[in-house]
Chain A
Amino acid sequence: MKRDIPIIITFLTGFLCVVAFFIPHPPLGDLQQRFLIWYAIVYGFTMVLGLDSLLKYNIKKITQRKEGWQYSYVLLFGLALVLVTGFQSWFKYGTPFELRSSFMYSYIHIIVPLQATMFALLAFFISSAAYRAFRARTFEATLLLVAAAIVMLGRVPIGKMIWSEIPVISDWLLNIPQLAAKRGIQIGVYLGGVVMSLRIILGIERTYLT
């Protein structure tokens, strides 16, 4: 019984969503939208769970003096700062998203640069991953190296200066073999998604019910 009720709910919800896709007439037409609203409400409440988890994790780190425990103070301070500035901006401007507010100031001048910094690190990680991936130890790796070299040269002006056909070959590699492989994977992903959904709706796939 403990498992039957969730399976019945899953079946009904999944079946109704599938039916609603084909039948626009009310009350089915906007059913998916309504489910999404319910999801958003549940999601809002789970943020409290998230906050609780975050606090527990970092307080444990501080009390047990685990490696890097000092950073947990920074995190807790940041959390408090965002809450305080958020409420202060809300009371002052009626919304925390007012551009002149302290909340938006901290977002624009602290969070956005931090995000940009993390994103910028990607350039270095691409270099190190490419170095390993392009080592021509096997036939496939050599093929990858050659294809990558052509594509990279085709994207920059010097490629055309070396040989005018390099950008053409580069575009061909991107538009024909690359796109074909990508679409092949996508077809598999979509089909896999449909079958997985079918397994969930029919109650065959139950791992999520643990």
Chain B
Amino acid sequence: MLPLIAVLGLLTQPPVNVRAYDTPNDEGSSITITWELSPADSGGASLFRGYEIYRSLSATGDFRNVGFAPAGATRFDDGNTDIQDGQEYFYRLKALTASGYEESAVVGPVVSSAQWFNTRTVNVLVITLFISVLVIYYIRRARAGEQLFVRKIAGLDAIDDAVGRSTEMGRPILYSFGLSYLNEVWTLASLSILYRVAQKCAEYSTRLLVPHYDPLVMSAAQETVKQAYAETGRPDLYDERDSPFLTADQFGYAAGVDGIMMREKPGAVFWQGYFYAESLILAETGHSVGAIQIAGTTSVEQIPFFVAACDYTLIGEEMYAASCYLRPEPQMLGSLKGEDLTKAIIIIFLLCGAVLGTLGVLSNIFFDHDGLSIFFENIVQWFNTF
């Protein structure tokens, strides 16, 4: 009987070391409460229910329940909308058990406020500034007349051939953005590829079909195609109905595009955008109708499917480079060069990190010295605060 009483006694102990402070790096109106687990929380988990958080405007005032944290939790962010910056608040916790509850001591006063800088983003700021400076530097160098080398991108070189082949076969061209939305960077990258494809289509008087998943992308794409046709001197060829909205449903869109491919038998198909599981359904149908296929996506999971099913694939960043490649103006090429140099620096960082990490482990094993591994862990920790 005595051990049972002891356990029940444990179950009614309150959490200890309760702290309340302004939530750091936020836009205000939030207070964080932390505590150490009540002894009952680890002892009788099945009987322990959790913690109720109470707030009041004064230490002796009326405490109001503002939230609940389950057993095992040691932190609660009180971000209720009624919290006002500059107002003093007091907190108290109730540890709830099957047999009752126990209250912690009152903590406070605590005041919430908004911060002017998010210190957790220092690393992002440093890297962003570094990349920006490099890109701007190379843009200036390119503007000054320096010749910059860009390696060949087979998928982009093949655009003209694909449109030409399709024209010779008397078949239309199909271009898809996949499941992209207009607020995504790859969609804007894809628009520049569409512009080039549309120019070629207008030049060869080839029909261009662009079925859509998103009506905003549809509007942007229609304008892009229209502009390309106008600039090539063939505005008469433009037909808005060749750029229809199909559906905003993933597999409905796949079925719709497959249907268009089976009926229209395009000679060339461009998959340029963001794709999910429908990528292979689309690409295999394109292959079955004998189309030359040029894919490009930043979706790492779908790249292998496109590589397996398409003739050319723009892998990840190559898609972003498309506009620079297709319109090799100095400032465009300069930005590409800046990006490449950043990548080279990152590779050097990764290699140094790998060597440092390995040396750290080896010095730990052979010399019982952990200085290097601690230094390595600190670097990893800094990056992990992303």
Interface residues of A (CB under 8 A from B): 18, 21-26, 29-30, 39, 42-43, 46-47, 49-51, 53-54, 56-57, 60, 66-68, 71, 111, 114-115, 118-119, 121-122, 125-126, 128-130, 132-133, 182, 185-189, 191-200, 204-205, 207-208, 210
Which residues of the partner chain B approach A193 to less than 8 Å between Cβ atoms?
Answer: 185-186, 298, 320
Chain A residue with the shortest CB-CB distance to B194: A207
**Could you show 23 A-B contacts with beta carbons less than 8 Å apart?**
A21-B118, A25-B28, A25-B114, A25-B116, A39-B183, A49-B218, A53-B215, A54-B244, A54-B245, A54-B247, A115-B251, A118-B278, A132-B309, A191-B342, A191-B343, A192-B317, A192-B319, A192-B339, A195-B338, A204-B332, A207-B191, A207-B224, A207-B323
- The answer to whether A118 and B281 touch across the interface, beta carbons within 8 angstroms, is yes
Q: In the complex, A122 Cα to B251 Cα: how many Å? A: 11
Chain B residue with the shortest CB-CB distance to A205: B323
**Are A68 and B259 also in contact (CB < 8 A) when A23-B118, A192-B321 are?**
yes
- The answer to whether A67 and B284 touch across the interface, beta carbons within 8 angstroms, is no
Q: In the complex, A205 Cα to B191 Cα: how many Å? A: 11
Chain B residue with the shortest CB-CB distance to A207: B192
Chain B residue with the shortest CB-CB distance to A67: B263
Instruction: Please classify the interface of chain B as helix (H, G, I), strand (E, B), loop, or mixed, using the class held by over half of its residues.
Output: helix
Closest 10 CB pairs of A and B: A29-B27, A50-B215, A192-B317, A192-B320, A118-B251, A50-B245, A57-B244, A207-B192, A210-B227, A133-B308
- The answer to whether B216 and A115 touch across the interface, beta carbons within 8 angstroms, is no
Mask: chain B, 288-326; 1 = CB below 8 Å from A; 0 = not: 000000000010100101011100000111011101000
Q: In the complex, A194 Cα to B340 Cα: how many Å? A: 12
Q: How many residues of B contact A (CB 8 A)?
A: 82
- The answer to whether A198 and B135 touch across the interface, beta carbons within 8 angstroms, is yes
Which residues of the partner chain A approach B249 to less than 8 Å between Cβ atoms?
Answer: 111, 115
- The answer to whether A191 and B118 touch across the interface, beta carbons within 8 angstroms, is no
Which residues of the partner chain B approach A130 to less than 8 Å between Cβ atoms?
Answer: 308
Which residues of the partner chain B approach A200 to less than 8 Å between Cβ atoms?
Answer: 185, 188
Q: In the complex, A24 Cα to B251 Cα: how many Å? A: 39
Q: In the complex, A205 Cα to B335 Cα: how many Å? A: 10
- The answer to whether A24 and B27 touch across the interface, beta carbons within 8 angstroms, is yes
Name the distance in Å between A141's Cβ and chain B's nearest Cβ.
Answer: 10
| Chain B 7-33 residues near chain A, CB threshold 8 A | 25-28
Name the distance in Å between B298's Cβ and chain A's nearest Cβ.
Answer: 5
Of the listed stretches B98-106, B121-129, B361-369, name the one at the interface; the rest are far from the partner chain. Answer: B121-129
- The answer to whether B281 and A46 touch across the interface, beta carbons within 8 angstroms, is no
Instruction: Please classify the interface of chain A as helix (H, G, I), strand (E, B), loop, or mixed, using the class held by over half of its residues.
Output: helix
**Are A186 and B300 also in contact (CB < 8 A) when A22-B118, A130-B308, A196-B189 are?**
yes
B375 within 8 A of partner (CB): no
Q: Interface centre among A25, A39, A125, A207, by most B CB within 10 Å?
A: A207
**Are A114 and B251 also in contact (CB < 8 A) when A54-B246, A129-B308, A187-B343 are?**
yes
Name the distance in Å between A77's Cβ and chain B's nearest Cβ.
Answer: 15
